[in-house]
Amino acid sequence: MALCILLLKKRVHYLPVITAVFIIASFFISYGVSVGHGHVEADFPYISHTAVKAPERCIFAQLINIGAFLLAANVYVRYLQQTEMFKEHVHPFVDCCAKDRRLMIASLVIGWLSALGLSMVANFQTIEMRPPHYVGAGMAFGLGLVYCWIQTSISLRHPPIDCVTVLQLLNSIILSICLVTFGVSKTIFKVKEGRGEGTKHDELRPVYLVSTISEWLTAAAVVLFLLTFYPSFSKITITGPRIVLQRSRPYSTANGNTHTTSMSNNGTLTV
């Protein structure tokens, strides 16, 4: 862990790559284990259905919790990077204003909530705990979409428009289409299945596959958006966190009483 932290301090651009690869790999590991045990069909089940039974649900929860932490770390580093960029005016076109600050704070909060939702999806299985699972899915996908659009809008507000901004815009558009497709197709599937008009194995197979495939694409689009941070993260280094050590030194007064003086490593004395 310490080695990873030291590496990332000067190679922060590895963080979004590691996060994207880790989360997507986690999906496929859970999928492979669940298919291998015969718990789900091989042709595109819902992501959540690959983590209902043991042992895959334990593996999925552990891996996705780590992935959610990495996702939150990306959101925080992005916030710090944008704050410093606007504060120092490192780009001649950058002009920080109140709206930019509000957007950055909003993206930080929304990004963290999206990461929390991802963790909830992993810890509350869809069959056993539907309400918190669906809340988490809404946070992960819905707020993830909002986060992507906020980041895209910040990039669009500060020209010149480079290829990274274009990729962010395309990713956000694709993510929006996939999420709407997923929501509509899953609703249609559930309604028709509830009416007894078929199952995922016969008449409702096409709409079921549209629903599951669009869910996988939605998850991939949210995660792959992080890769657009690679160029900007390659220009920064992390110098913190910094710890101040309080050192205590006893001393005696003229009347014989003993007192303690605390001194931080920056030389500040506190009696």
Task: Indicate if the alpha-carbon torsion angle 142, 144, 147, 149 is positive or negative.
Answer: negative
pLDDT digits (tens, 9 = 90+) for 156-189: 987 667 899 999 999 999 999 999 999 999 999 9
Domain range list for the chain: 10-240, 243-271
pLDDT digits (tens, 9 = 90+) for 93-139: 455 577 788 899 999 999 999 999 999 999 998 888 899 999 999 99
**Closest to 224 measured CA to CA, from 24, 6, 55, 4:** 24
Walk along the chain (271 residues) and give the pLDDT tens digit of each residue.
Answer: 444 555 677 788 999 999 999 999 999 999 999 999 999 988 889 999 999 999 999 999 999 999 999 999 999 999 999 888 877 654 444 555 777 888 999 999 999 999 999 999 999 988 888 999 999 999 999 999 999 999 999 999 876 678 999 999 999 999 999 999 999 999 999 999 999 888 888 899 999 999 999 999 999 999 999 999 999 999 888 876 677 787 766 655 556 565 555 544 444 434 3
Enter the pTM of the model.
0.85
What contacts 224, CB < 8 A, 6 or more positions away? 20, 171
- Using only C-alpha atoms, what is the Rg of the chain? 24
